[in-house]
Structure 1
Amino acid sequence: MNRKKKIKQTIKKLVKKENAKKQPKNKVRYISKAERAALEAEEQKKQEQEIE
């Protein structure tokens, strides 16, 4: 009984991992603080150019 249970558990665990990998990723890519600052500076330059 224990051997069957253990085998069933391992197979169930593998199937669960495979299904999790198949699901779409909803998480947005992380943007570092330096990248955010660079993007903000670039945005400000564009706005200044539009004004002038």
Structure 2
Amino acid sequence: MNRTKKITKKHMSKVKKANAKLNTASKPKYVSKAERERLATLEAQEHASIVTE
């Protein structure tokens, strides 16, 4: 590998990492299994209270 190729490779990897940090919103935030279950139970309780009213 020659010198210019090494320099270009390092530069491109830095650019790629910088772009990855800027584009964090493209992926939805992780929600744990326990949190999903808790949200489901809250939603079920809310739905049950709406039905009974």
Q: Please indicate the TM-score interval, normalised by the length of the shorter structure.
A: 0.5 to 0.7
Structure 1 gap ranges (5+):
none
Cα shift at 1:26: 0.6
Q: Which amino acid aligns with 1:46?
A: E
Q: TM-score, normalised by structure 2?
A: 0.65
Task: Give the ranges of 4+ consecutive aligned residues of structure 1 lying more than 6 Å apart after TM superposition.
Answer: none
Q: Percent identity?
A: 39
Structure 2 gap ranges (5+):
none
Aligned residues: 52
1:26-41 pair list within 5 angstroms: 26-41=26-41
Map of 1:21 onto structure 2 = 21
Q: TM-score, normalised by structure 1?
A: 0.65
Cα shift at 1:5: 4.4
CA RMSD of aligned residues (A): 2.1
Distance, in Å, in 1 between the alignment partners of 2:20 and 2:42 is: 38
